[in-house]
Chains A and B, each alone.
Chain A
Amino acid sequence: MIDEEYQVSRYDGALTMLPYSIRERARKVVRGDRCVAEEFRLRIGWPPTVLLPDGELTLGGEAVTREDIDAVVEITTGASAYSSAAQIKNGYLTARGGYRIGLAGSIFTDGGQVRGFGNFSSLSIRISREIVGSADSIIGELLRGGRFRSTLIIAPPGAGKTTLLRDIVRQLSDGGTDRQGVRVSLVDERGEVAAMTDGIPQMQVGRRTDILDACPKAQAVMIMLRNMNPQVIALDEITAPEDVKSIEIARNCGVELLATAHAAGIEDLIRRPLYGGLIQEKIFHNFITIRRVKGKREYLITKEDVL
């Protein structure tokens, strides 16, 4: 059972990033919806909405303006958007407390390279929630001979991959009554997993976890591999060929991996060229797919030898 106060506090934390007029409207959302709200969405010309498991609920009132969008960026960055330029260029912002803001608007390119981002037209504020113990039911199945084996979490966006990854990292790092903790290197490019602020993780990721955030994943994997002597490397969202290459290198060095990937299921994953090599090379031993049944998450584990 997840603490209701915690659920509401995460919603209230996200509220502080909204401009004052919208914040007041969002405060009026009923407690039950505040517990399960997943995102705030602001689109210029339309009233703001809050995303609930069964769809978007409009907050009513005046339509969102350009000033509202700019205000969110200003509040989130403490009037220092320039210091988050690298994140904004990639269309997101990580806020204190582990909230992530996705941005949409106009990208400026030069020679095919993204040079900047501006004229924001819409944004989403993701209300991420830490669910300590979410991996309790499956952690034992990810081990063989008491040792963690490389695992890939597969699900569509918003299904809870990051939440599960975080709890697996915590459990591996802290250990349990029947197993010792291991050194985990957490590659947290977008700062969503550990939500590190001033060097201190805001989420529980375990006592033996070393975190590298705000660094492209492929580079971060190599840095951690060279410098931190990890037993497990964890990373969120494999999205590029460079990520795949770095994972293969890490695996060949004898390090176990824990990662997530966007896909509807294993069949969908196999069809994608990016992940095909990972499956053929048998990089991962366990595949976890996440399903939502009656509002609850269910985890299904498939072993590599049955594929």
Chain B
Amino acid sequence: MRILGAVLVVFSTAAIGYGGVKRLRERVRNLEGVIAALDVMESEICSHLTPMREVLEMLSNDAPGQSRKLFENVAEGMCALGRCSFYSIWREGVENTKELLLKPEETETLSELGLCLGRYDVREQAEVISRIRRRLEIFLKRAEEERERDTKMHAFFGIAAGLFAVIILI
């Protein structure tokens, strides 16, 4: 019975550690997804002049992984255009897409994009999208470093915490 309990405790703490690892991996995937979606967005807006609703609909279906949730949320918010500005719809969309696992600084950067999207000047939009993408690439690099650095630590501490608890309890 004790052995079974000990195994369960170790499994539980290992699962928590693995959750941390998964979170680190997902953050990297989400940032990659958002950056790829911004590439598509830039091309659709600046080269094809595709209307914003169509761009959002397209990315809601085709953007990689969880990043599509962001565009889904913004697309849903578009019905409020007129009561709210596009910037506030975009910002709310970014803030409400918790699945992206963004840090506050990353959320702020992505929200800034809403200030220029949908404006008349295509060149200005291309510049801002490029700037935001470059900043997101820096965040992505950091997230990758974090993943490399912390993956083993999360796994180790997960199991170690379980073993420690077992030793104490036994």
Knowing A78-B78, A82-B125, A83-B51 are in contact, say whether A73-B120 is a contact too (CB < 8 A).
yes
Asked if A16 and B51 make an inter-chain contact with CB atoms under 8 angstroms apart, the answer reads no
* Candidates A17, A23, A79; contact of B117 at CB < 8 Å: A79
Q: Which residues of B contact A71 (CB under 8 A)?
A: 85
Knowing A73-B120, A74-B118 are in contact, say whether A83-B49 is a contact too (CB < 8 A).
yes
Any chain A CB within 8 A of the CB of B83? yes
Any chain B CB within 8 A of the CB of A88? yes
- In the bound complex, CA of A71 to CA of B50 (Å): 20
Who on chain A is nearest to B48 by CB? A83
- In the bound complex, CA of A77 to CA of B51 (Å): 8
Who on chain B is nearest to A15 by CB? B82
Asked if B49 and A78 make an inter-chain contact with CB atoms under 8 angstroms apart, the answer reads no
Any chain A CB within 8 A of the CB of B52? yes
Knowing A74-B81, A85-B49 are in contact, say whether A79-B120 is a contact too (CB < 8 A).
no
Asked if B82 and A79 make an inter-chain contact with CB atoms under 8 angstroms apart, the answer reads no
* Candidates B78, B81, B85, B121; contact of A82 at CB < 8 Å: B121
Q: Which residues of A contact B45 (CB under 8 A)?
A: 82
Distance between A89 CB and nearest chain B CB, rounded to angstroms:
9
Asked if B86 and A79 make an inter-chain contact with CB atoms under 8 angstroms apart, the answer reads yes
* Candidates A19, A23, A78, A117; contact of B120 at CB < 8 Å: A117
- In the bound complex, CA of A16 to CA of B49 (Å): 24
Who on chain A is nearest to B46 by CB? A82
Interface residues of A in 8-23 (CB under 8 A from B): 16-17, 19-20, 23
- In the bound complex, CA of A85 to CA of B47 (Å): 13
Q: Is the interface of A mostly helix, strand, loop or mixed?
A: helix
Interface residue ranges, B against A (CB under 8 Å): 45-46, 49-53, 78, 81-83, 85-86, 117-122, 125
Task: Give 3 closest A-B pairs by Cβ, nearest first.
Answer: A79-B118, A79-B86, A80-B51
Asked if A80 and B53 make an inter-chain contact with CB atoms under 8 angstroms apart, the answer reads yes
Asked if A80 and B121 make an inter-chain contact with CB atoms under 8 angstroms apart, the answer reads no
20 additional contacts, CB 8 Å, given A79-B52, A83-B49, A116-B121?
A: A19-B82, A74-B81, A74-B85, A75-B82, A79-B78, A79-B86, A79-B118, A80-B51, A80-B52, A81-B120, A82-B46, A82-B49, A82-B120, A82-B122, A82-B125, A83-B50, A83-B51, A85-B49, A85-B122, A117-B120
Residue from the set B53, B118, B122 with the largest chain A CB neighbour count within 10 Å: B118
Q: Which residues of B contact A23 (CB under 8 A)?
A: 82
Asked if B82 and A20 make an inter-chain contact with CB atoms under 8 angstroms apart, the answer reads yes
Any chain B CB within 8 A of the CB of A61? no
Asked if B83 and A74 make an inter-chain contact with CB atoms under 8 angstroms apart, the answer reads no
Q: Is the interface of B mostly helix, strand, loop or mixed?
A: loop
Who on chain B is nearest to A18 by CB? B82
- In the bound complex, CA of A114 to CA of B117 (Å): 23
- Looking at chain A, what size class is its interface with the partner chain? 20 to 34
* Candidates A73, A78, A88; contact of B52 at CB < 8 Å: A78
* Candidates A17, A73, A78, A116; contact of B51 at CB < 8 Å: A78
Asked if B120 and A88 make an inter-chain contact with CB atoms under 8 angstroms apart, the answer reads yes
Asked if B81 and A79 make an inter-chain contact with CB atoms under 8 angstroms apart, the answer reads yes
- In the bound complex, CA of A85 to CA of B86 (Å): 18
Any chain B CB within 8 A of the CB of A158? no
Any chain B CB within 8 A of the CB of A156? no
Q: Which residues of A contact B125 (CB under 8 A)?
A: 82
Any chain B CB within 8 A of the CB of A118? yes
Q: Which residues of A contact B119 (CB under 8 A)?
A: 81-82
Asked if A81 and B83 make an inter-chain contact with CB atoms under 8 angstroms apart, the answer reads no
* Candidates A78, A82, A117; contact of B53 at CB < 8 Å: A78
Distance between B6 CB and nearest chain A CB, rounded to angstroms:
58
Q: Which residues of A contact B85 (CB under 8 A)?
A: 71, 74
Distance between B61 CB and nearest chain A CB, rounded to angstroms:
19
- In the bound complex, CA of A74 to CA of B50 (Å): 15
Distance between A197 CB and nearest chain B CB, rounded to angstroms:
13
Q: Which residues of B contact A118 (CB under 8 A)?
A: 120-121
Q: Which residues of A contact B53 (CB under 8 A)?
A: 78-80
Residue from the set B53, B121, B125 with the largest chain A CB neighbour count within 10 Å: B121
Q: Which residues of A contact B46 (CB under 8 A)?
A: 82
- In the bound complex, CA of A38 to CA of B117 (Å): 32
Knowing A78-B51, A79-B52, A80-B51 are in contact, say whether A85-B78 is a contact too (CB < 8 A).
no
Q: Which residues of A contact B49 (CB under 8 A)?
A: 82-83, 85
